[in-house]
Amino acid sequence: MRNISKDFAELIGALMGDGYIYRKNGKYQIGFVGNIVNDKGYFEYLRSLIKKEWGKDAKIKIRAGGLRMVIDSKEICRILIDELNLPHGEGKCERVFIPDFILKEWDLTSKMIRGLIDTDGSVFVAKKPGIEKYPSIEFTTTSKILAEQMKVILENKSFRVAKIWQVTSKLAKRKCYRVPLNGKENLRKWLELIGFSNPWKLERAESYLKEYGRGRTRTCGGMVFSHLLSP
């Protein structure tokens, strides 16, 4: 098995999240897709990793209202498919999972998870009973195995992971699995142990923690009480 770096592991995470590997009829391509507004800075970051780790110049294009970055390389496809055994082709999304060679080292696991959340994760605030603004991170995947792996990995690092819940995608009509990390302590811990390379998501996480992480407001008997929480 090829030894891979932390940056390589992060690329694999991003590829598993919003990417694809295509090998058919003499064509070899690796691609990433993203939001045309929110992912511009992140795609530039990924392009620098690709140049560093794979020695390839990735092309960023706008297609169908979104960003697409592609690398044409038989060599990289062979490494990803034949050496690292990464799922590819039709049905890849439902079959994807974190390989054992990455799970053995936290440095690799954490960077791969970062890549997954930078692509297929959400950072937002929600309204909870007694709490008006509740910061959350949520990972969504069509792979049940990957969702279960994520929950176990994060719980082993003392994150408080809510129950995985299943939804049906409105567009693709496929089952999706969401892994929720709710609350300021989870958000703070994420920034300390895993972090973000996607500038848009990092900015949201830091702003939510700053704005909502130091206090909360809850009601009791019609009266409002504000509670200061230690940073």
Amino acid at 38: N
Hey, which bits of 90-212 come out as E strands?
121-128, 131-141, 165-168, 175-182
Q: What is the mean pLDDT of the chain?
A: 87
- State both tokens at 211: 């704005």
Q: Are residues 216 and 139 in the same domain?
A: yes
Q: 143: which DSSP letter?
A: -
Q: How confident is the model at residue 225 (pLDDT cuts 50, 70, 90)?
A: very low
Q: Environment class of residue 148 by beta-carbon count within 10 Å: exposed (0-12), middle (13-18) or buried (19+)?
A: middle
Task: Please tell me the total count of domains within the chain.
Answer: 2
Provide the whole-model pTM. 0.86
Mean pLDDT score, 63-83 = 93
SS3 211: helix
Q: Are residues 129 and 199 in the same domain?
A: yes
Helix (H) or strand (E) holding 179: strand 175-182
- State both tokens at 115: 């890549």
For residue 101, being part of any structural domain is answered with no
Q: Are residues 135 and 88 in the same domain?
A: no
Q: Are residues 62 and 128 in the same domain?
A: no
pLDDT in tens, 98-122: 999 999 999 999 999 999 999 999 9
Q: Which CATH number do you get for residue 17?
A: 3.10.28.10
Domain hosting 165: range is 119-228
Q: Are residues 127 and 224 in the same domain?
A: yes
For residue 105, being part of any structural domain is answered with no
